Amino acid sequence: MNRKLIGVTALLLSIPFYAQADAVSDLEAEYQAQGGTNFNATAGEALWNKEFIDAKKGDKRSCTKCHTADLKKPGKHARTGKAIEPMAPTVNPKRLTEVKQIKKWFVRNCKWTLGRECTAQEKGDFLAYLKNL
Ligand code: HEC
């Protein structure tokens, strides 16, 4: 392999890592602009494991209900039973690489779990927790 080819290969191999850093830091900047500060992995983990009671059905809900508490393992959808790929980016490099995807699921999953949309602070804390798993 000549040098140029090695350079190009190295560049291509590094793209997934940049992509992840970009999606997460873009969102962190957005959540900061919306009033979030000092995003904290411990707060994110606590919220991830916290149980909420659904106002209508009275059942207990948490992020772990579909994604499980061990984010290096596959999850299972609480309603449909469908498998969910592991959340930890170290196990599943596709995780947290697309802003659109992350936003869409934050909306849906916060509404289902907390009964409302998450605040900018909560979403920043979730990312702080998830991105280093
Ligand atoms: C009812 C089941 C369910 C619950 C509860 C749930 N999720 Fe999810 N989540 C999913 C599904 C399904 C997907 C999309 C499929 C996938 O990404 O594997 C997803 C995807 C995501 C993604 C997108 C990740 C990416 O790489 O794009 C994030 C972030 C996420 N969930 C966060 C949360 C948070 C935070 C909570 C708790 C507030 C939560 N989820 C609760 C089912 C759930």
CA dist., res. 42 & res. 1, Å (int): 46
- For tokens 């804390």, name the residue: 125
Determine whether the shortest distance from the Cβ of 14 to ligand 1 is under 6 A.
no
pLDDT, tens digit (0-9, with 9 covering 90-100), for 63-99? 999 999 899 999 999 889 999 999 999 999 999 999 9
pLDDT, tens digit (0-9, with 9 covering 90-100), for 22-51? 999 999 999 999 999 999 999 999 999 999
Determine whether the shortest distance from the Cβ of 123 to ligand 1 is under 6 A.
no
Compute the average pLDDT of residues 109-115.
97
- On the question of pLDDT at 17 being above 60, the answer is no
* Contact (Cβ atoms closer than 8 angstroms) between residue 26 and residue 33: no
Determine whether the shortest distance from the Cβ of 105 to ligand 1 is under 6 A.
yes
For a mutational test of ligand 1's pocket, the pick from 61, 76, 109, i.e. the residue with the most ligand atoms closer than 8 A to its C-beta, is: 109
- On the question of pLDDT at 11 being above 80, the answer is no
